[in-house]
Amino acid sequence: MAKYITRRLIYMVVSLYLIVTATFFLMRLAPGNPFTSEKKLPPEIEAALNEHFGLNDPWYAQYGDYLLRIAQWDFGPSFKYKTRTVNDLISEGFPVSLALGAQAILIALALGLILGIIAALYHNKWQDYGAMIIAVLGISVPSFIMATVLQYFFAIKWGLLPVARWDSFMHTILPSLALAASPMAFIARLTRSSMLEVLANDYIRTAKSKGLSKGVITVKHAIRNALLPVVSYMGPLSAGIITGSFVIERIFGIPGLGSHFVTSISNRDYTVIMGVTVFYSIILLVSILLVDIAYGLIDPRIKIAGGKKGE
């Protein structure tokens, strides 16, 4: 296991290095970027930038400098607002985004698993069709449309929940639901198909032959095995939650990191885009690693083989 984690850590660092490098050079390509000179900027910002990036240095020095800063957890200044750094934005916005994301992941997992398991247990009955219709809806409607429609009906039209902002628990309901909708649908479908596959396995028949009840078989034999693909979906799930948060935070006026990121995109605030992208990449890579470790803990076959499934 230790060997496996070490190997994964190395991969992670390589991926991260590539991302940072790619971001750096991409930004040099961008029209009107801080690294080219044909731009009109307030002189004081220009001076700050020049100083911060050592723009008079050759590109490799700038690049080395940037890598060093990232390694020291310094994501750089804002190109538009001279008093705020990317680190400020992160420490201000990320806790909010994290709370929203965690709530959405919980909802997506809970509802998705329940729907998927019900659909599989009642394969080809109305429960199955009902659950899958909900799932297909969740997959087919883009999140910004889903969020706007939910907001319109539940908050504006019927006034059941607050329209926007992030103040109380009530404020969190609509955004987390909207953010959870499409991952929930994916989880429901994934759970259903993996449950169906597991239920067709010989060892389920063995369990039946012992006279165990349907409930015990489902809980003790089927679900644990069916959960494995869902666990590996947690990586893409966290990516989906992050990108989904751009949309949701924007629509519900939530002061999270996603919201700041979208603003920086519309402002073409390149240094912020760059810094936040790198930050998000780190978060994602770490969560994928955590998921893989969790997978190893759930599937007893992985521990021994050291990373490869099966014998």
Partner 1 sequence: MEKILEVKDLSVSFQTYGGEVQAVRNVNFDLYKGETLAIVGESGSGKSVTTQTIMKLIPMPPGKIKSGQILFEGKDIVPLSDKQMEKVRGKEISMIFQDPMTSLNPTMKIGRQIMEGLIKHQNMSTSSAKERAIEMLRLVGIPMPERRVNQYPHEFSGGMRQRAMIAIALAANPKLLIADEPTTALDVTIQAQILELMKDLQSKMNTSIIFITHDLGVVANVADRVAVMYGGQIVETGTVDEIFYDPRHPYTWGLLASMPSLENDDKSELAAIPGTPPDLTNPPKGDAFAARNPYAMQIDFEEEPPLFQISETHFAKTWLLHPDAPAVEPPDAVKRRMRKLSSTFDKPVLVKGGK
Partner 2 sequence: MQQISKDKFQIVGNEGINSEKIEKPSLSFWKDVSIRFRKNKLAMFGIVLLVLLVFFAIFGPYMTEYDYAKNDLMNTNKAPSSEHWFGTDDLGRDVFTRTWEGARISLAIGVLAALIDFTIGVLWGGISGFKGGRVDEFMMRTADILYGVPYLLLVILLMVVLGQSLGTMILAMTITGWINMSRIVRGQVLSLKNQEYVLASRTLGAGLTRIMGKHLIPNTMGPILVTMTLTVPAAIFTEAFLSFLGLGLTPPLASWGTMASDGLPALKYYPWRLFFPATFIALTIFAFNVIGDGLRDALDPRLRK
What mask, x for binding partner 2 by CB under 8 A, covers residues 256 to 295? Answer: ------x--xx-x-x--x---x--xx--xx--x-------
| Complex with partner 2: residue 15 or 50, whichever CB lies closer | 15
Residues 291-310 that bind partner 2 (CB under 8 A): none
Closest approach, Cβ 7 to partner 1, in A, equals: 22
The verdict on 165 binding partner 1 (CB under 8 A) reads no
Choose the one of partner 1, partner 2, none that binds residue 281, judging by a C-beta under 5 to 8 angstroms depending on kind. Answer: partner 2
Assigned token pair, 263: 């603003």
User: Which of 203, 219, 253, 286: binder of partner 1 (CB under 8 A)?
Assistant: 203
User: Which of 212, 239, 265, 289: binder of partner 1 (CB under 8 A)?
Assistant: 212
What mask, x for binding partner 1 by CB under 8 A, covers residues 25 to 54? Answer: ------------------------------
User: Which of 102, 110, 145, 170: binder of partner 2 (CB under 8 A)?
Assistant: 145
The verdict on 194 binding partner 2 (CB under 8 A) reads no
- Sole window of 111-119, 132-140, 158-166, 167-175 interacting with partner 2 (rule: CB under 8 A): 132-140
Closest approach, Cβ 261 to partner 2, in A, equals: 9
The verdict on 6 binding partner 2 (CB under 8 A) reads no
- Sole window of 40-48, 111-119, 278-286, 292-300 interacting with partner 1 (rule: CB under 8 A): 292-300
DSSP secondary structure string, the chain?
Answer: -HHHHHHHHHHHHHHHHHHHHHHHHHHHHSTT-TTSS-----HHHHHHHHHHHTTTS-HHHHHHHHHHHHHTT---B-SS-TT-BHHHHHHHHHHHHHHHHHHHHHHHHHHHHHHHHHHHHTTTSHHHHHHHHHHHHHHHS-HHHHHHHHIIIIIIIS--S-SS-S-SHHHHHHHHHHHHHHHHHHHHHHHHHHHHHHHTSHHHHHHHHTT--HHHIIIIIIIHHHHHHHHHHHHHHHHHHHHHHHHHHHHTT--SHHHHHHHHHHTT-HHHHHHHHHHHHHHHHHHHHHHHHHHHHH-HHHHHHTS----
Choose the one of partner 1, partner 2, none that binds residue 268, judging by a C-beta under 5 to 8 angstroms depending on kind. Answer: partner 2
Burial bucket for residue 56 (CB in 10 Å: 0-12, 13-18, 19+): exposed
Give the residues lining the site for partner 1 (CB under 8 A). Answer: 200-203, 205-214, 216, 220-221, 224-225, 298-301, 304, 310-311
